Amino acid sequence: AIKEFDYGEVNVVSYPSLASRVLPPILGGFLKTRPGLRIELSSRNSWLLVETMATQGLDVGFGMFAPDRPGVRFEKLCSMRAVCVLPPDHPLAAREVIHAGDLHGVRFVGMVDEDRAQLQIDQVFAENGSERNIVIKVQLTEACCSFVASGVGVSIVDPLSTEGFGRNELIVRPFRPVVDFNIWVVTPSFRQPSLATQALIDHVRLHLPAKLAEMARSIGD
């Protein structure tokens, strides 16, 4: 069992939208052939994820932030393009691509200032001279999508956050200029990953980019 990485426990931490909507089927496939292995999965925003990994000795994390933090190492897993999400009845929903300038003065659901991905988005709008009408700020991108689906405004999120919303709830469009978000494998630097942890990382590395490619094709980006 040890030789086949089929025994023990792997403690995983991930940022929320990945942990709740996308990782479950991927990790479920990993566990299907490993009945002696157990996974403990928790979620943190990408900043807290790094701190948790550095201080609590977890096995592996999947985050969107790679700061210079002692005790933690980062390896890029894949990238994904930000998308614009809109209510189905929004005037801009008929467009194939949403540009930053299209959202000038438009009611917008933003992320709280502590979110690092939000800084990238803010910079793009500033560089394009487009001023959004930010009516609410939330902590989770899934919450952004829920508020958009409720008709509060539009938002810019990572595509994984849109998983699980139907077309009658949320319209997803490519956004320009391109904003790329990286997903990082986060591991403690004071020890090497166990065989089971490395097998899990390899499994996610195989299946997560495929999921993102599938979503990009459906969005038309």
Contact call for residues 162 and 207 (beta carbons, < 8 A): no
pLDDT of residue 58: 87
The predicted-structure confidence for 39-65, as pLDDT tens digits, reads as follows 999 988 777 788 888 887 789 999 888
Band of residue 3 on the pLDDT scale cut at 50, 70, 90: low
Asked whether the beta carbons of 131 and 105 are under 8 A apart, the reply is: yes
Query: Closest Cα partner for 188 from 77, 73, 76, 75?
Result: 73
Looking up tokens 């502590």 gives 114
Q: What is the pLDDT of residue 138?
A: 92
User: Rounded to an integer, what distance in angstroms lies between the CA atom of residue 24 and that of residue 215?
Assistant: 17
Residue 198's pLDDT is what?
92
Query: How far apart are alpha carbons 74 and 64 in whole angstroms?
Result: 10
Which ranges in the chain belong to alpha helices (H)?
16-17, 23-32, 46-56, 116-127, 141-149, 195-219
> Which amino acid type is present at position 109?
V
pLDDT above 70: residue 5 = no
pLDDT at 115: 65
Taking residues 168-197, report their average pLDDT.
92
- C-alpha to C-alpha distance for 34 and 87, rounded to whole angstroms: 42
151 φ, ψ (degrees, to nearest 5): 90, 10
Instruction: List the structure tokens of 205.
Output: 């590395």
Pairing of strands 107-111, 133-138: parallel
Tell the residue number behind the tokens 């790329």, with chain if given.
Answer: 180
The answer on pLDDT for 2 being more than 70 is no
Q: Of 172, 143, 181, whose CA–CA distance to 46 is shortest?
A: 181
Q: Give the pLDDT confidence of 139-175 residue by residue, as tens digits.
A: 888 899 999 999 999 999 999 999 989 989 999 999 9
Binning the chain into helix, strand and coil, the percentages to the nearest 5 are: 40, 30, 30
Per-residue pLDDT tens for 113-138? 766 778 889 999 999 999 999 999 99
Residue length, the chain? 221
Q: What is the pLDDT of residues 68-81, one digit of tens each?
A: 888 899 999 999 99
- pLDDT at position 191 is 85
The pTM of the whole model exceeds 0.75: yes
